Amino acid sequence: MTQPPTVTFSSSIEPLADAPPARADLNGCPWHDVKSMLRQVGLRPTRQRMALGWILFAKGDRHLTAESLYEEATRAKVPVSLATVYNTLHQFTEVGLLRQVAVDGSKTYFDTNASDHHHFFVENEDALVDIPGAEVVVGKAPTPPEGYEVARIDVVVRLRRKDT
């Protein structure tokens, strides 16, 4: 008769607090997508990054301000400060997961579609909308100063409602 081998578990098992805030709502489990997405860009999947990433990316392409993401996080009962939301958004932007679209001095949007595209901004409604890819033709990029190259051209076409 042989003794069963003794198995010792290390205590590094992830705490349950890493579970998503509303697992029942998940389809296709984007939680795991967020984790691998963060790992791919070299960001440690901390609980706050995971939670904010999940809120940001589980709903398709959209444009958010730090304040609106903070509101969504609060509604989803994710305990996070506005400062953390700002930091996380900037970290995600630095690694290319988000694109920052500055509309004017006070309004900055974060776009979950990081590919090249342009925007309509509806004044008075603070709405930022994608312009379909084929529709903006930038005739000729300006010649950059010596030692520089054009990294990207962002077009924001500002709209207002017609007087009727």
Least Å distance between CB 151 and Zn ion?
A: 17
| Of the candidate residues 87, 120, 130, 156, the single one contacting Zn ion (CB under 5 A) | 130
Distance separating alpha carbons of residues 44 and 36, to the nearest angstrom = 10
With contact defined as beta carbons under 8 Å apart, do 96 and 142 qualify? no
Least Å distance between CB 101 and Zn ion?
A: 7
Of residues 82 through 121, those in contact with Zn ion by CB under 5 A are 111, 113
Amino acid at 8: T
In this complex, which beta carbon is closest to Zn ion, that of residue 50 or of residue 58?
Answer: 58
In this complex, which beta carbon is closest to Zn ion, that of residue 54 or of residue 110?
Answer: 110
Burial letters 53-78, b for 16+ CB under 10 A, else e: bbbbbbeeeebbbbeebbebbeebeb
- Per CB under 5 A, residues contacting Zn ion are 111, 113, 130
